[in-house]
Chain A
């Protein structure tokens, strides 16, 4: 069949492919390639030289790696601790622990860091105020705590899922073979969790080294690559160095991404016995109690941090002048600060549904329509999150500051900087779209794999074309995935900083960037008020989405209509014929 014939026979498929390719090409591949080109330009190579030559810059690289390892280790340990308590201990307040552990997912990037500064900083409410020690949280220790607390919830949720799915009869089998509790744990449970732990570790490593917000607030003299790149671009106007610094972040990030995808994912251990039967045995004794105590302490710390945020938002100068005030909220909600609130919300509300839809569309193409190029498309879409935000942000600056011309005709107008269309909001929406899509792709791919292909075929066989089938069958069936993708995209769009901070203009203000400015200026109260408002908006939006997309009918999760019967071998058929 000729290409033209295919295009004509499947207009919807062709159109969606064109859209997907265009978005990913323009929004992701083009800017990232600009970073690459800049890094390998003569200026870029000079920057590489100085990076290698300067001991200060070498230290930056070292710092980054050390920070990544610390966060990954602490974060994985925390995630495992909470998952273990949640699934294997019979203790009170597990539900509360769960909620507390998940809270950091919806919090803006500075909330934790700023609260830690207030509590444990040079004039910390606790360090100075309670203990009277001039403890300085700035640096590696503070960064590790802040980043680990910020990012461990995602790993925690994965591990809880894995541990719940582990078939308890495996533990029982090992026990009945004479293994004690500790032995069972070490020889059966832990090996099955290893892929989850390993991928959690890698994920945390990448998130930690790519993060920009926390190093800016908590870094102190401890400079890492992302903050170095930010300073190079915004302070020194040295785009080439910025490109080089951020690119050196991208190398490990993409390596880890590849490792994750092509190594760990293939090594996942599944218990093949089908539905878990029975309940996992619970652990008791001193070890279990120690784990519980640790989890409670960490949970208290998290509660303390969020209490600080709330308290700080209504306090004149937290820790110094503790008088009650609503001035901060007034500033954020009704004052000059409200601009950022409105802009951020509008942009997120535009970008998140697009990201959810685009992600689900890509998932549909990957799973159902494009058996051969599907994996490549999937890979490119996932790069949207694998590429560090700094790289994407710098890429946008490089690619879209001036308009893109082809043969003298404006193909893409300026999206970044003072002359950007709609005050740069188009560029921001595209970045949010690129960042929000991967989660929706994963959710969509996961749920599409649960829907038997014959459901689609039944629809086609009854006369429906591809787009009708997608609209009336596929989309309703993967609504939970769409919902998950949408929720995630909202949270991310509202709280993301690192790519956006390069794109904000005086016309388009973003809360995350405003919080950074307030923290920089030492106006913690305003920053905390922003954080509170931000979290409230995120939760409200998520609630609205759930209300709007609520399920009408009770439906089982499994979409396979009936178990596929194993085909009986003819030899056996012969033996049992009536």
Chain B
């Protein structure tokens, strides 16, 4: 069944409005359209409550869409009950059958398909081996660690060779170390078997490391569908840039965008940066902290260090500038040379790493505050232009 040419999953204008909810409010899923290519690993990423699980459950058949269509290789899925859809789901809670042994859990789907005994045993053994569960077949779920339980859940879903695998935050119950290992294993296995996968998570690192493409969702809508690199470097909106990784957003105006590039002023320097086609005369410049260079010398733009957090592998500085608060991440710091709070510093940015976005979505104002909560809590003052003598500017 695992034909590598099947598994093209298409969602069109999917809307889900839960019964018993305010009809005036936005639906839980509000017009989602996706085209998951055969064999692709696609991740739905977004904050909790944005409709990821609902979308996934509609695909699985556990929820009925209010409107829209779901098709798999051209066949209408909405006509089929969940058990007739050639998909298998891996649950956040694992949902192992507590009264069945590991072997019987994995064999469950094959027994439903009435697979012959010899073939069934072989398939289960292969699945257990591939998930490093050899020798655990006789155990019961409660005799396994969380990680082992999750492997059983994976083996159970993969062994039926579905056309589409559905994952709902399968790693969120594991501890951080183990999560990374499982990520790699899931990715390897999925690549090897070439099964189309739709994966839901709110963890951007998970989405980045697993996916061929990421769908960033917000309030029931799709904000962007792109590769992890694109989502990170060229987010479609402030929301996306904000949710995926950390960034400072500096409002700019009087911009002229031509041919996908725009001239803007960043830290007192005129630079030409890549721009979203939707940017008008004013926009927002996204600066990732790792592309900011902080130096005690005032050759370029300037600001005042408001906080310095030593992280071992690097230092995070919060620098207040004329354009707002900027987060800068300096790698491999020299412990003796940490800049103290209140120090005046120069800032520089690699223009090729800066991206110009339309202003909408962030609500203007204190855009730079996305990555740390205190500025959000006290609006206004932090965003005020810092008026301080700037030697560099006055020299010019």
Interface residues of A (CB under 8 A from B): 9-10, 452, 454-455, 457-465, 468, 472-473, 476-477, 553, 555-556, 559-565, 567-571, 573-575, 577-578
Q: How large is the interface on B (under 10, 10 to 19, 20 to 34, 35 or more residues)?
A: 35 or more
Interchain CB contact under 8 A, A459 and B205: no
Task: Tell me, yes or no, whether B365 is within 8 Å of chain A by CB.
Answer: no
Pairs across A and B, CB under 8 Å, 30 listed:
A454-B93, A454-B95, A455-B95, A457-B60, A457-B89, A457-B91, A458-B95, A458-B156, A459-B97, A460-B61, A460-B62, A460-B81, A461-B83, A461-B87, A462-B108, A463-B83, A463-B109, A464-B83, A562-B173, A567-B202, A568-B202, A570-B47, A570-B202, A570-B243, A574-B242, A574-B246, A574-B370, A574-B371, A574-B373, A575-B373
Task: Tell me, yes or no, whether B352 is within 8 Å of chain A by CB.
Answer: no
Which among B48, B97, B149 has the greatest number of chain A C-beta atoms within 10 A? B97
CB interface residues, B 332-363, toward A, < 8 Å = none
A555 and B149 contact, Cβ closer than 8 Å, known pairs A464-B83, A562-B93:
no
Interchain CB contact under 8 A, A459 and B96: no
Interchain CB contact under 8 A, B160 and A476: no
Interchain CB contact under 8 A, B112 and A462: yes
What CA separation (Å) do A185 and B16 show in the bound complex? 51
Closest beta carbon of chain A to B88's beta carbon, Å: 5
Measured between beta carbons, the chain A residues less than 8 angstroms from B246 are 574, 577
Which among A459, A462, A553, A578 has the greatest number of chain B C-beta atoms within 10 A? A462
Segment touching A, from B139-147, B258-266, B384-392: B139-147
Closest to B313 in A: A578
A468 and B112 contact, Cβ closer than 8 Å, known pairs A458-B89, A458-B91:
yes
Closest to B99 in A: A476
What CA separation (Å) do A569 and B48 show in the bound complex? 7
Total number of residue pairs linking A and B with CB closer than 8 Å = 127
CB interface residues, B 125-178, toward A, < 8 Å = 140-142, 146, 149, 153, 156-157, 160, 166, 172-173
Measured between beta carbons, the chain A residues less than 8 angstroms from B173 are 562-563, 565
Closest beta carbon of chain A to B56's beta carbon, Å: 11
Closest beta carbon of chain B to A578's beta carbon, Å: 6
Of the residues A556, A561, A568, contact of B48 by C-beta under 8 Å: A568
Interchain CB contact under 8 A, B99 and A477: yes
- Excluding A457-B62, A563-B173, A575-B372, 4 further A-B contacts by CB distance (< 8 Å) are A457-B82, A460-B81, A477-B97, A571-B376
Closest beta carbon of chain A to B359's beta carbon, Å: 20
Closest beta carbon of chain A to B82's beta carbon, Å: 4
What CA separation (Å) do A553 and B98 show in the bound complex? 10
Task: Tell me, yes or no, whether B94 is within 8 Å of chain A by CB.
Answer: yes
Interchain CB contact under 8 A, A561 and B95: yes
Which among B89, B113, B376 has the greatest number of chain A C-beta atoms within 10 A? B89
Closest beta carbon of chain A to B348's beta carbon, Å: 24
Measured between beta carbons, the chain B residues less than 8 angstroms from A565 are 92, 172-173
Closest beta carbon of chain A to B248's beta carbon, Å: 13
Closest to A476 in B: B99
Interface residues of B (CB under 8 A from A): 47-49, 60-62, 81-84, 87-89, 91-99, 101, 108-109, 112-113, 140-142, 146, 149, 153, 156-157, 160, 166, 172-173, 202-205, 242-243, 245-246, 370-373, 376
Measured between beta carbons, the chain B residues less than 8 angstroms from A567 are 48-49, 202
What CA separation (Å) do A459 and B97 show in the bound complex? 9
Measured between beta carbons, the chain A residues less than 8 angstroms from B82 are 457, 460-461
Which among A454, A556, A565, A578 has the greatest number of chain B C-beta atoms within 10 A? A454
Interchain CB contact under 8 A, B92 and A571: no
Measured between beta carbons, the chain A residues less than 8 angstroms from B112 are 462-464, 468
Interchain CB contact under 8 A, B93 and A560: yes
Of the residues B48, B88, B101, B202, contact of A462 by C-beta under 8 Å: B88
Interchain CB contact under 8 A, B108 and A553: no
Measured between beta carbons, the chain B residues less than 8 angstroms from A573 are 47, 202-204
Closest to A451 in B: B98
Measured between beta carbons, the chain A residues less than 8 angstroms from B47 are 569-570, 573
> A-B pairs with the 7 shortest C-beta distances?
A462-B109, A570-B47, A458-B95, A567-B48, A454-B95, A461-B89, A463-B112
A570 and B48 contact, Cβ closer than 8 Å, known pairs A555-B142, A564-B93:
yes
What CA separation (Å) do A527 and B373 show in the bound complex? 79
Interchain CB contact under 8 A, B370 and A555: no
Measured between beta carbons, the chain A residues less than 8 angstroms from B149 are 561-562
Interchain CB contact under 8 A, A9 and B81: yes
Measured between beta carbons, the chain B residues less than 8 angstroms from A574 are 242-243, 246, 370-373
What CA separation (Å) do A35 and B157 show in the bound complex? 55
Closest to A465 in B: B83
Closest beta carbon of chain B to A542's beta carbon, Å: 23
Closest to B112 in A: A463
Closest beta carbon of chain A to B12's beta carbon, Å: 20
Interchain CB contact under 8 A, A462 and B156: yes
Closest to B150 in A: A562
Interchain CB contact under 8 A, A459 and B98: no
A452 and B202 contact, Cβ closer than 8 Å, known pairs A556-B142, A561-B141, A562-B173:
no
Closest beta carbon of chain B to A491's beta carbon, Å: 27
Closest beta carbon of chain B to A298's beta carbon, Å: 41
